Chains A and B, each alone.
Chain A
Amino acid sequence: MSAGTPSTMAEVTRPVGTGALERRAGRSSPGLYRQALHRYRRDHIAMASLVIFFVILIFVIAAPLVSRLTGFTYFENHLGEKLSGPRENGYFLGSDANGRDILTRLAYGGRASLLVAFFATISEIGFGMGFGIVAGYFGKWVDAIIMRFVDIVLSIPAIPLLILVTTLFSPGLVMLSVIIGAIFWPADARLIRGEVRALRGREYIESARVVGATSRRIILRHLLPNVTPIMLIQASLAIPAAILIEAVISFLGLGIQVPEPSWGNMLNEAQRFYRTNWTNVFFPGFMIYITALVLYLVGIGLRDALDPRLSSS
């Protein structure tokens, strides 16, 4: 680990570096990210996961192409051929209770799942970073109010809270993402706050203040770049969590509404026929599982690459 790498662990108090080195770290610090990329490339599991994720991504983006290949749209019903098994009546993976093609719906359903996961992560990290930096930097009563709020939200199990809020809102895709972000940010805020508090006492922040930098400038130019790596790690681990959360909400019939497919609501529809058509339960769940799994592995790889001190093995 070179001297130019920003500290990314709150509990580790490292000797304060010289002003010049620290300032360089405060900038975009190309060394860190290039090194991380290099480390990531050598991580076989992480690389394989990334490849699998790209395959899933292509499958989902090419949903219209999948639709053309199967010869089915994702919404057309064929009630005469409902609940076909795999390879039956020309349905490669079978058909659902309305006679809709499972394979085509998986491709389109992945769009909803991935989009929600992506937007949810952005809003979660946005809230978490915003509140975390503000609480950590300004301290005093601002910190007290934000952190008490964080404590309160963290003590409510997320799933019941999410069920309550989504029932009341009946959200669309974007709203659902924002709700997920709004419920899961407190853990990120707590992490960032600790990080910022550790950084705040560092010499280069003091020096910036001495030469008359405004709070805005200190936050944007000096704190933000230093908490970016840890936020990237958090974000990469938040995406698979959001995939699972979206699946839960749509599974309960509270998220993406049929006939628009999402992996979660496909599972919900299939569940009633699990005695006779177990493959209809298996495929959407498997897509949720494999996507979340490879994204976790990518996230863990990214974490180990960005901050080898956190590495598990």
Chain B
Amino acid sequence: MGRYVIRRLLMMIPLMIGVSFITFAIINLIPGSPLADLRRNPEVRPADVARLEEQLGLNKPWPERYGDWLVALLHGDLGNSMHNNVSVTDRITALLPNTLLLTSCALVFALVVAIPVGVYAAANHRSWFDRLSNLVGIALFAIPSFWLGILLVILFSFKFEDWGLPSLPTGGITTPRGGGDPWDRITHLILPSVALGLVQVGSWSAYIRSSMLEALQNEYVRTARAKGLSNRAVLFGHAFRNALLPLVTLIGLSIPSLFGGAVLIELIFAWNGIGLLTLQAVDQRDYTMVMGTTLMFAFLTLLGNLIADVAYAALDPRTRTE
């Protein structure tokens, strides 16, 4: 098991180098230097632009810059922001917990809803609940999460406030002044997590339902029922444990879309994470920062896949063979 994890971790290295190379190439093969605005500005002397260009290393050919960047990366240094010269590594490590908090809350929310719904629908196959949850699941499947986020704010922040009901905050991680206690944090987390997680609920519950249905047809389920186990014990103790396996893979596969969706949700809810940081950096043509966040997203995706695979191996000993 340990060797498997180490081997998988080592396999991530060439992939990460590939990701960094592609990102670097995209940024540098396209016209439009981060200093273009300064060059156009008659107030700025060309000599100053040239000095800045040298300071940022932009006067070197890009393969050389890539080499320098890669060497620095091996020392854990992602360079400094081209916009305000702060360390990219520091900025990302400062904001990463916010993004992870949001995505993991969304993930937990989606699972907490999807698992009982899927299991209950499978246990009551072809019942009205089964049909209803199927319909709702399909309806959730194609919902644009950013639109859903705005609608949630309109309903639970604005309309609830207008109606005199307790309303939820429209955005941010804490209330600007005097906030920050656990309750304040939780209320700020609810809407963005729901907006981000709800999209997954439909497909996950459908998946759990179908793998439960499959598991329930097995002989061991009949045996378990025959020896008089309660319905709950059969469902969760026998069938669900086996239906869990494909779910682990499914979660691993939805990690990229979870982080992608987080970018938009962070924008809508002014959630200060690396998604919002990416949007700002792209807007400011802050290439070193964009490189850093893209690499971080790729790293998180690969790590998520790795965790899913390891969890799969832990749950199913058959896949553990070298």
Residues of A within 8 A of B (CB): 148-149, 151-161, 163-165, 167-169, 240, 244, 247-248, 251-252, 267, 271, 274-275, 278, 281-282, 285, 288-289, 292-293, 295-297, 312-313
Contact = CB atoms under 8 A, between A and B. Distances in A.
Nearest to B12: A155
A289 B26 CA distance: 31
Nearest to B255: A157
Contacts of A285: 144, 147, 150-151
9 contacts: A149-B18, A155-B256, A160-B293, A160-B297, A164-B27, A240-B142, A248-B146, A251-B146, A289-B144
A244 B139 CA distance: 14
A57 B243 CA distance: 40
A313 B147 contact: no
Contacts of B249: none
Contacts of A169: 30
Contact of A156 (B23, B146, B263): B23
Contacts of B195: none
B144 A155 contact: no
Nearest to A267: B147
Contacts, number: 124
A244 B261 CA distance: 11
Given A156-B23, A289-B144, A296-B141, A164 B154 contact: no
Interface in B258-307: 259-261, 263-264, 267-268, 275, 278-279, 282-283, 290, 293-294, 297-298, 301-302, 305
B264 A248 contact: yes
B153 interface: yes
A175 to B, nearest CB: 12
Interface of B: 14-15, 18-19, 22-23, 26-27, 30, 32, 138-139, 141-144, 146-147, 150-151, 153-154, 158, 206, 210, 256-257, 259-261, 263-264, 267-268, 275, 278-279, 282-283, 290, 293-294, 297-298, 301-302, 305
Given A160-B294, A285-B147, 18 more contacts: A151-B15, A152-B19, A155-B301, A156-B294, A156-B298, A159-B259, A159-B260, A160-B263, A160-B293, A161-B23, A163-B263, A165-B26, A168-B27, A248-B264, A252-B267, A267-B146, A275-B158, A282-B151
Contacts of A244: 142, 144
Given A156-B23, A248-B264, A163 B282 contact: yes
B142 A164 contact: no
A156 B301 contact: yes
B279 A163 contact: yes
Given A163-B279, A168-B27, A247 B150 contact: no
Contacts of A158: 256-257, 260
| Residue picked from B15, B143, B146, B275, most chain A C-beta under 10 Å | B146
